[in-house]
């Protein structure tokens, strides 16, 4: 595997020495880079240098007063960097171009987009959270995610994205990290973080590992207080710091320092690690040898802001070794206090130059020495592409984690004999899950106001799929079961075969005291439309379960748990581009459908397009009748004619031709020797299929079974009940003798051919193909077709 790390050698990184690591901000044309940086630095005033140390928050959903405030910070205080917060991509692009135009030096634009620009901006793409990604075993997919996110950032003029989160989430009660972490396993977190960072920096956007030295085992939020981490230096060195060490070797460009109290690293327990020289200079820069940008976490957060005045905090942060002050308060006061420290020699200009030079190197690395404004054309479209959805689907498919599969019940097989119910728990919707389940078999949604009523309604069902659905709005939303949900789940599982599908954090399962009666558990991580649809497909064997739990569920399910399932190759559902077709082209079907309805060619209909085992278009139009009372739905079942030829005989003929059992140019007597001496002996298979075989359009076979005078059905041929003598059903309560099949073939054999060889639609050839196929394969046609095609698709009806 590309990102496999040989952790057996980690002792090498745990020794106390000044690490000699690469400079992640050094470019290939480093000589030109140095010339550019030095030329800028030597011409900067002290005010301009100090201005480069700030990264101020800017909003694209605010008013003109805020825009003027940011403009003043740039022109008056020479602010060198901005981090955009809430808003829209269109407005952010306009403001970025505006702010860049009034800045003497190019601004470095930051963003906090851990799962995509959607974390802050409307109308942008939302990828899965890190906890979901932590279940994936293919690191190449994580790199692709980094590339996609890097491409989005680049398109919007963002230069540094504050991701990935590399905190090892060993505390399930962590209120701020949780789903934002790749999990509790240091190797897994490290591999994912490296892959993501490589992908994003490949696109020319700086990655940022946070929150140094590790925010994963806290039970308070540094936004509101100063959390304490009571680990020894040895523990931190062997767990929390591992991702950072490996990321430094992989060339990550920047680090975010956390607001934590860690007594083993800083004896002053009131001093946040983000402001500690022991942590930032001695540990991060000297011991670990990090040479990239060092950026504080938001200095407006209570974990830092409670320490002293804003200006004092900002000065201490610089003196501790940070290069960039993220979202500091009191810019004017900070400029003054830094100047005062310079005058008093408690801070040197060399120290300021050290950070400014790194910032300028980063700007060169980012291409800001050749700055170009953001192109506003098609911006939103470029940030929401089909390729993004394709990757999203692949990420979710690879994350789904089966942690319990009693007697290998999953995926469902022979489900025609099972009766399924779906029960929704949780406070979010599960409609997409239910609708996808219904694409494979009959599934009834069962609900009731009280438990007894629900249990009673579930009696007829053999399997109950319980979907636990929680909000997918953001990773901080509560994932917990209510007490009622827990009781109902256990009571259902006590009397029924339950498949529990969890569309939220796996930590939710910690509330369940016993799993004895819950026979099957699938963790789907998030309640997105894509997660719901793919989870349902996994249950029916469209693809394998591949995910592994990124965190432990107590002692019941340890980190790394995850059972693979059998791929039954059933028909799946996806978007056209996954099978190399175009959504835009298929969208034209709507126009054709509209014409059909307007011209009254049909009152309504369904259209389904499938390719390479995937349904890529399924839509219903119009009504059942011209009265327009009942709209057509995808779930509607029709009485259909003329399908046997297309869906049964023809696929088997194609299979037989491929296997040279019925060659396309074979003569009829070669596949049915009984026709050797008939007038049809030399008709080819190709001529029969194309309706150029000169066969009559039809033969009124029924006439030979009627009483001549009355035209009534003759008891010689028909019976109202099925029996060995009358085994073939003709219609409801009407069965015909088996011997009449021979009569039908004799009538076809004796029939006259039409005079001219021209197109004439005839069903008679398919009577002959049925006989030829069954003779060749020694099985009935319905069995042949089912075994060859429809069993693997999970299709039990047409």
CATH number of domain containing 251: 3.20.20.300
Q: Quick one: 651 and 705 in the same domain?
A: yes
The pLDDT of residue 707 is: 86
Beta bridge partners of 667: 684
Assign 18 a pLDDT band (cuts: 50, 70, 90): very low
| Partners of 81 in the β-ladder | 55, 108
Q: Read out DSSP for 749-777?
A: HHSPPPSS------SHHHHHHHHHHHHHH
Residue 148: predicted pLDDT = 99
| Domain match, 580 and 540 both | no
How confident is the model at residue 794, as a pLDDT? Answer: 65
For residue 224, is pLDDT > 90? no
Domain tally, the chain: 4
Could you tell me if residue 5 is inside a domain?
Answer: no
What is the set of active-site residues?
223, 297
pLDDT at position 9 is 39
pLDDT in the model for residue 21: 72
Contact status, residue 156 vs residue 203, Cβ threshold 8 Å: no
Predicted confidence at residue 11, as pLDDT, reads 35
Residue 653 is assigned to a structural domain of this protein: yes
Give the span between the Cα atoms of 611 and 596, in whole angstroms: 24
Q: Is the pLDDT of residue 257 over 90?
A: yes
Q: What is the mean pLDDT of residues 237-265?
A: 97
Which residue, of 382, 417, 448, is where some domain finishes?
382
Which pLDDT does position 648 carry in this prediction? 86
654 and 739 share one domain: yes
Read off the pLDDT of each residue in 418-434 and give the average, rounded to a whole number.
98
Mean per-residue pLDDT over the chain, rounded: 94
Do 204 and 330 share a domain, yes or no? yes
Secondary structure (DSSP) of 321-337: T-SBEES-S-HHHHHHH
Which of the listed residues 320, 348, 382 is the one where a domain comes to its end?
382
Strands in 108-196 per DSSP E: 108-111, 160-161
Residue 139 has pLDDT above 90, yes or no: yes
Report d(CA 75, CA 71) in Å as an integer: 6
The yes-or-no verdict on residue 2 having pLDDT over 80 is no
513: Cα separation from own chain's centroid: 30
The tens digit of pLDDT for each residue in 605-626 reads 999 999 999 999 999 999 999 9
Whether the CB-CB separation of 526 and 401 falls below 8 Å is answered with no
Distance CA 646, CA 626 (A): 28
Please give the share of the chain, as a percent, with pLDDT higher than 70. 96
Residue 175: count of CB within 10 angstroms of its CB: 14
pLDDT over 50 (residue 3)? no
Report percent pLDDT > 90 for the chain. Answer: 83
- SS3 state of residue 208: strand
Kindly state the DSSP code that residue 480 receives in the 8-state scheme: P
715 or 46: which leads in pLDDT = 46
| Structure tokens, 405 | 């599969």
- Domain end: 571, 598, 633, which one? 571
- Asked if pLDDT for residue 721 goes beyond 60, the answer is yes
Bridge partners (DSSP) of residue 87 are 121
Same domain (yes/no): 566, 596: no
User: Per-residue pLDDT averaged across 614-640, rounded?
Assistant: 91
CATH number of the domain that residue 507 is part of: 3.40.50.1700
pLDDT tens digits for 155-179?
999 999 999 999 999 899 888 899 9
Given this model, what pLDDT does residue 335 score?
98
The pLDDT value recorded for residue 638 is 73
Residue 797 confidence class, pLDDT cut points 50, 70, 90: low
Residues 183 and 298 both lie in one domain: yes
Is residue 444 located within the same domain as residue 457?
yes
Residue 395 counted as domain residue: no
For residue range 269-324, list pLDDT tens digits in order: 999 999 999 999 999 999 999 999 999 999 999 888 888 999 999 999 999 999 99
pLDDT value, residue 221: 80
* C-beta neighbour count of 309 within 10 angstroms: 14
Residue 627 domain-assigned (yes or no):
no
186 by DSSP, 3-state: which? Answer: helix
Q: 549 with 403: CB under 8 angstroms?
A: yes
Q: Decide if pLDDT at 539 tops 90.
A: yes
Is 213 found in the same domain as 259? yes
Give the pLDDT band (50/70/90) at residue 540. Answer: very high
567 and 588 fall within a common domain: no
Q: CB neighbours of 595 closer than 8 A, spacing ≥ 6?
A: 601
Q: What is the side-by-side strand order in the sheet with 208-212?
A: 208-212, 254-257, 293-296
pLDDT band at 796 (very low <50, low <70, confident <90, very high): low
Q: Give the mean pLDDT of 424-439.
A: 97
In a shared domain, residues 610 and 654 = no
pLDDT at 14: 39
Q: For position 675, which CATH number holds?
A: 3.40.710.10
Residue 16 lies in a domain: no
561 and 584 belong to one structural domain: no
Indicate if the pLDDT at residue 216 is higher than 50.
Answer: yes
Q: Is the same domain home to 595 and 534? A: no
Cα distances (Å, whole numbers) of residue 412 to 18, 508, 548: 57, 25, 21
> Nearest 5 degrees, angle CA 722-CA 727-CA 732?
55
Whether 194 maps to a domain, the answer reads yes
Give per-residue pLDDT as tens, 447-494. 999 999 999 999 999 999 999 999 999 999 999 999 999 999 999 999
Q: What is the pLDDT of residue 155?
A: 99
Residue 336: inside a domain:
yes
Q: Is residue 398 situated within a structural domain?
A: no
Residue 492: domain span: 404-571
């Amino acid at each position: 595997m590309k990102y496999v790390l040989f952790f057996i050698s980690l002792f090498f990184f745990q020794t106390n020495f000044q690490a000699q690591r690469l400079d992640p901000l050094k470019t290939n044309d480093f000589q030109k880079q140095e010339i550019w940086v030095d030329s800028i630095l030597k011409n900067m005033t002290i005010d301009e240098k100090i201005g480069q140390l700030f990264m101020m928050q800017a909003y694209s959903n605010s008013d003109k007063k805020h825009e003027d405030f940011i403009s003043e910070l740039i022109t008056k205080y020479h602010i060198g960097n901005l981090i955009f917060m809430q808003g829209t991509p269109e407005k952010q692009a306009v403001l970025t171009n505006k702010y860049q135009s009034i800045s003497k030096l190019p601004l470095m634009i930051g963003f906090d987009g851990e799962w995509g620009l959607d974390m802050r901006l409307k109308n942008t793409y939302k990828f899965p959270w890190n906890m979901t990604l932590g279940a994936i075993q293919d690191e190449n997919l994580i790199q692709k995610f980094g590339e996609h996110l890097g491409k989005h950032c680049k398109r919007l003029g963002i230069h540094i994205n504050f991701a990935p989160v590399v905190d090892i989430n060993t505390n399930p009660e962590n209120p701020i990290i949780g789903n934002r972490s790749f999990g509790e396993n240091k190797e897994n977190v490290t591999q994912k973080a490296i892959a993501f960072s490589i992908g994003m920096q490949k696109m020319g956007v700086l990655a940022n590992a946070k929150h140094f030295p590790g925010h994963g085992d806290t039970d308070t939020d540094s936004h509101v207080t100063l959390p304490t981490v009571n680990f020894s230096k040895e523990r931190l060195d062997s767990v929390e710091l591992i991702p950072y060490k490996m990321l430094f070797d992989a060339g990550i460009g920047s680090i975010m320092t956390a607001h934590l109290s860690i007594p083993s690293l800083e004896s002053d327990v009131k001093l946040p690690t983000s402001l500690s020289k022991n942590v930032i200079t001695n540990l991060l820069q000297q011991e670990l040898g990090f040479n990239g940008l060092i950026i504080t976490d938001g200095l407006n957060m209570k974990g830092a802001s409670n320490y002293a005045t804003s200006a004092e905090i900002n000065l201490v942060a610089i003196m501790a070794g940070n290069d960039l002050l993220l979202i500091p308060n009191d810019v004017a006061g900070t400029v003054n206090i830094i100047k005062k420290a310079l005058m008093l020699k408690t801070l040197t200009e060399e120290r300021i130059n050290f950070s400014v030079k790194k910032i300028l190197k980063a700007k060169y690395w980012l291409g800001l020495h050749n700055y170009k404004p953001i192109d506003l054309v098609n911006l939103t479209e470029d940030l929401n592409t089909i390729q993004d959805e394709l990757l999203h689907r692949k990420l979710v498919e690879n994350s789904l984690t089966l942690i319990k599969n009693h007697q290998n019940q999953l995926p469902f097989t022979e489900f025609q004999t099972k009766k399924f119910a779906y029960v929704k728990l949780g406070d979010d919707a599960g409609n997409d899950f239910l609708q996808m389940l219904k694409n494979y078999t009959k599934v009834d949604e069962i609900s009731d106001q009280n438990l007894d009523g629900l249990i009673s309604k579930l009696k007829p069902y053999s399997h109950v799929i319980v979907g636990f659905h929680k909000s997918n709005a953001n990773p901080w939303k509560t994932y917990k079961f209510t007490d009622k949900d827990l009781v109902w789940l256990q009571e259902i599982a006590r009397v029924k075969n339950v498949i529990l599908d969890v569309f939220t954090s796996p930590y939710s399962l910690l509330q369940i005291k016993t799993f004895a009666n819950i026979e099957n558990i699938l963790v789907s991580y998030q309640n997105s439309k894509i997660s719901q649809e793919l989870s349902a497909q996994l249950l029916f064997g469209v693809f394998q379960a591949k995910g592994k739990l990124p965190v432990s569920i107590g002692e019941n399910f340890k980190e790394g748990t995850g059972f693979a399932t059998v791929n039954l190759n059933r028909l799946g559902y996806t978007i056209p581009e996954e099978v190399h077709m175009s959504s835009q082209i298929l969208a034209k079907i709507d126009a054709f459908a509209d014409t059909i309805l307007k011209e009254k060619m049909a009152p309504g209909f369904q259209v389904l397009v499938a390719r390479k085992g995937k349904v890529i278009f399924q839509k219903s139009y119009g009504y059942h009748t011209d009265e327009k009372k009942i709209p057509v739905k995808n779930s509607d079942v029709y009485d259909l004619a003329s399908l046997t030829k297309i869906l049964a005989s023809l696929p088997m003929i194609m299979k037989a031709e491929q296997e040279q059992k019925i060659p396309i140019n074979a003569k009829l007597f070669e596949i049915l020797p009984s026709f050797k001496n008939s007038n049809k002996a030399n008709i080819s298979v190709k001529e029969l299929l194309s309706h150029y075989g000169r066969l009559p359009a039809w033969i009124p076979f029924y006439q030979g079974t009627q009483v001549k005078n009355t035209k009534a059905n003759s008891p010689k041929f028909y019976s109202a009940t099925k029996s060995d003598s009358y085994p073939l059903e003709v219609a409801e309560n009407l069965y015909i003798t088996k011997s009449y099949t021979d009569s039908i073939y004799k009538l076809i054999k004796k029939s006259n051919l039409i005079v001219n060889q021209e197109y004439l639609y005839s069903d008679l050839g398919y009577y002959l193909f049925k006989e030829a196929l069954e003779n060749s394969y020694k099985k009935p046609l319905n069995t042949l077709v089912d075994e060859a095609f429809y069993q693997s698709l999970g299709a039990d009806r047409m």
